[in-house]
Structure 1
Amino acid sequence: MQTECLEARVSASLLLHPRVGVVVPKHGRNIVDRNRTKRRLRELIRLRLLPVIGRVDLLVRAKPEAYRSSFDELALQIDAIASWAAGISAH
């Protein structure tokens, strides 16, 4: 799935809990911007994604637009990914 700022890929897992990976490429930005984006995504995933997804492996990758997005904009996109991933993990 792709949103304006994020890409997500999901795979079924045999584990009893979800696993989530976060990838934030450099995209020509400095380390401060990159770390801020990673922290925002990790917090949103912890609060909004992990409680609703089942036994899946999920990879979230930031696009260059993620660096310019506010916390609230990223939250809306994480919510969309959560709805999508919850539907997949329910099958």
Structure 2
Amino acid sequence: MGLIVPKYQSTAVARNLLRRRLREIWRRELQPTQPGWDLLIRARREAYGASYGALRAELLAWRDSWT
């Protein structure tokens, strides 16, 4: 899995929090169910203000649309 978390004039703390949240969602939800996939996630500006639950719901909806 690759992550692209642009600066979007946010702080390093905000970028790192978003990276940690996305990695945790990957570890818990996406990695075990999709062997053989390469995934690249590019965070949008609105992702910085999203809660863990909102990010998780969005990624799971994406996964369900492709599987």
1:36-72, CA deviations, whole angstroms, 9 ceiling, x for partnerless residues?
0000000011101111113121101100000010010
Q: One-letter code of the match for 2:10?
A: R
Structure 2 residue aligned with 1:15: none
* Structure 1 residue runs without a partner (length 5+): 1-19
- Residues 23 and 34 of structure 1, relative CA distance in 2, 3 Å threshold: same
Give the counterpart of 2:42 among 48, 61, 71. Answer: 61
* Runs of 4 or more above 4 Å deviation: none
Q: Normalising by structure 2, what TM-score?
A: 0.90
Q: Normalising by structure 1, what TM-score?
A: 0.68
RMSD, matched Cα = 1.1
Question: How is 1:67-82 mapped onto 2 (pairs within 5 angstroms)?
Answer: 67-82=48-63
* Paired-residue identity, %: 39
Question: How is 1:25-44 mapped onto 2 (pairs within 5 angstroms)?
Answer: 25-44=6-25
* Structure 2 residue runs without a partner (length 5+): none
Q: One-letter code of the match for 1:58?
A: L
Number of residue equivalences = 67
Larger strand percent: 1
Q: One-letter code of the match for 1:28?
A: Q
User: 1:22: how far off?
Assistant: 1.2
Is 1:23 aligned to residue 4 of structure 2?
yes
Is 1:52 aligned to residue 26 of structure 2?
no
